[in-house]
Amino acid sequence: MTILNGMSVDVEEYFQVGAFERTIDKSDWNSWQSRVVTNTGMVLDLFAEAGVKATFFTLGWVADRHPALIRRIVSEGHEIASHGWDHQRIFTMNANAFRADLAKARKALEDAGGVAVTGYRAPSFSIDTRTPWAHQVLAEEGYAYSSSVAPVAHDHYGWRDSPRFAWRPLPDNSLIELPVSVAELANRRMAVGGGFFRLLPAALTDTAVRQSNRAGHGGMFYFHPWEVDPGQPRVPNAPLRSKVRHYSRLGAMSGKLRKLLGRHQWGRVDAVVAQERCA
Ligand SMILES: [Zn+2]
């Protein structure tokens, strides 16, 4: 049996990424040129060409400003899920602030898309050992799944010792956590999605997907709309390491994605969740 792997896009503007959060103040977001509609449109075209359905974890902030984009995503058969309101990392909030952020984002997404939102991805994979209450809040708010953990050590994020494949964080609730896929080489876990896919050989992503499938689980891949946009305005004064990571190989991303879409069986994350529940 072929195993379905999750294809996902974290829908946010190029100026809203974690790497620039110390350089660009949220109060200045409205002064930056918006590129998210065009960039996400390119991603939708890539998916249409490959015949792939995916999940778009979208900021409420984006849905509020660009409801037509949300309607297009839904009308093309993709899943709309939540990426929070304005990319606030969970470990900077308490449980009540997290609940409020979830509600604000969900209202914007559901108002725009006209469909129920049941999936959530934390900004910068910020569910980790600092937020032991996060999955409980998601369950109480009626979410079916979360894809908010990076089971890897990284300088910005990661929960290194968490399960590598789908797991149930709560004993009394069916909520499923689908961590982002990592490759394991010589007992070391390596991140392969997002910027890592852009910067590293695609074979590492193939390894991560195959390792998941061999273990009986769907893989979980993600990237961002701004990663297919070499023409995005440059952010001055950002730390050099952030700039190198953000801007490298943007021009090669579309071609690399096109090939990846043809190499494995990809689908919406809610379909991967259904597959996990039947397994
Ligand atoms: Zn994000």
**Tokens matching residue 97:** 């602030």
Q: What's the Rg (C-alpha) of the chain?
A: 17
pLDDT tens readout for residues 150-191 = 998 876 778 888 999 999 999 999 999 999 999 999 989 999
Query: In a structure prediction context, what are the per-residue pLDDT tens digits for the chain, which is 279 residues long?
Result: 799 999 999 999 999 998 888 899 999 999 999 999 999 999 999 999 999 999 999 999 999 999 999 999 999 999 999 999 999 999 999 999 999 999 999 999 999 999 999 999 999 999 999 999 999 999 999 999 999 999 988 767 788 889 999 999 999 999 999 999 999 999 899 999 888 999 999 999 999 999 999 999 999 999 999 999 999 999 888 888 888 889 999 989 999 999 999 999 999 999 999 999 987
Q: Are 270 and 79 in contact (CB under 8 A)?
A: yes
- Region of 204 on the Ramachandran plot (φ > 0 left; ψ -120 to 50 alpha; else beta): alpha
* Span from the CA of 74 to the centroid of ligand 1 (angstroms): 20
Distance between terminal CA atoms of the chain?
A: 12
Q: What would the DSSP string read from start to end of 27-84?
A: GGGGGSPP-HHHHHHHHHHHHHHHT---EEEE-HHHHHH-HHHHHHHHHTTPEEEE--
* Span from the CA of 125 to the centroid of ligand 1 (angstroms): 8
In terms of pTM, does the model score above 0.75?
yes
**Tokens matching residue 214:** 């061999």
* Span from the CA of 115 to the centroid of ligand 1 (angstroms): 21
CA separation for the pair 243, 160 (Å, rounded): 25
* Span from the CA of 213 to the centroid of ligand 1 (angstroms): 26
Q: Which residues surround ligand 1, an ion (CB under 5 A)?
A: 10, 12, 123
CA separation for the pair 151, 180 (Å, rounded): 7
pLDDT tens readout for residues 243-257 = 888 999 998 999 999
CA separation for the pair 15, 233 (Å, rounded): 9
* Span from the CA of 143 to the centroid of ligand 1 (angstroms): 19
